Amino acid sequence: MLKFYLIFISIILSFVSSAQRKFEDEIIAFEKSDKISLPASGGLLLTGSSTIRLWDNYKKDLHPFNVLNRGFGGSTMQDLLFYFDRIIVPYKPKIMIVYEGDNDLAAEMPVEKIINDFSSFTEKMKTKLPETKFAFLSVKPTPGRSHLLPEQITLNKKIKTLCYKTSNCTFLDIFTPLLDEQNMPRIELFKEDKIHLNPMGYQICAQIIINYLKEQNEK
């Protein structure tokens, strides 16, 4: 019985390790780049899933703020927690923008499990980067995942509540501006895959982020 239990645990650990390693090449690439030229601390850090990674015009859209993009793969909040010490802590950002939750729901993770991961993230921030202000972007509505709209709404409400209870944390609503008059995703703001934003969609998100950054600078 003990032998069976150990084999089972080994399989589970191997699966988890394999799941995390799928992004290892991207993380190593960040680290190699940092060894050549480590970005200055105290700036603005963008991190999260492919919604951040694929933001090609982020420097132009968020001008004149000094921005570093560390989005990777099609990550989940679990993945971001796993790589926290390697792609967040070294930069000691003054402000950070986080986008996760989209792929978590698509992978059929329960909303409560996702919120627990977000809560774990806020605890890491308190412990390791207590001076950093950070904002969670709401999960965006997408034409390709419109069946997830009810879960997205629920998750966004819970993330917003979590932010209200957490120091240095802000919730930024990009969900509502991406909806049409029928409360469905505005298809003209998305790429052909119906999942990722196009330049027009990113510009809407950028304005929301810029308004938040200006507010923080005025405090």
1 confidence band (pLDDT: 50, 70, 90): low
Contact between 100 and 80 (Cβ < 8 Å): yes
Q: In the predicted model, is pLDDT for residue 13 greater than 70?
A: no
Report the share of the chain in percent with pLDDT over 70: 90
Instruction: Read off the pLDDT of each residue in 177-205 and give the average, rounded to a whole number.
Output: 97
* φ and ψ of 131, to 5 deg: -95, -10
Alpha helices by DSSP H, listed for the chain, are 2-21, 24-36, 50-53, 58-61, 77-82, 84-87, 102-106, 111-128, 149-164, 199-218
Q: In the predicted model, is pLDDT for residue 10 greater than 70?
A: no
Alpha-carbon span 24 to 29, nearest angstrom: 9
Q: Is the dihedral of CA 26, 65, 119, 190 positive or negative?
A: negative
Short-list 117, 89, 124, CA closest to 101:
117
Q: In the predicted model, is pLDDT for residue 77 greater than 90?
A: yes
2 confidence band (pLDDT: 50, 70, 90): low
User: pTM value?
Assistant: 0.90
Q: How confident is the model over 104-143, as pLDDT tens digits?
A: 999 999 999 999 999 999 999 999 999 999 999 999 999 9
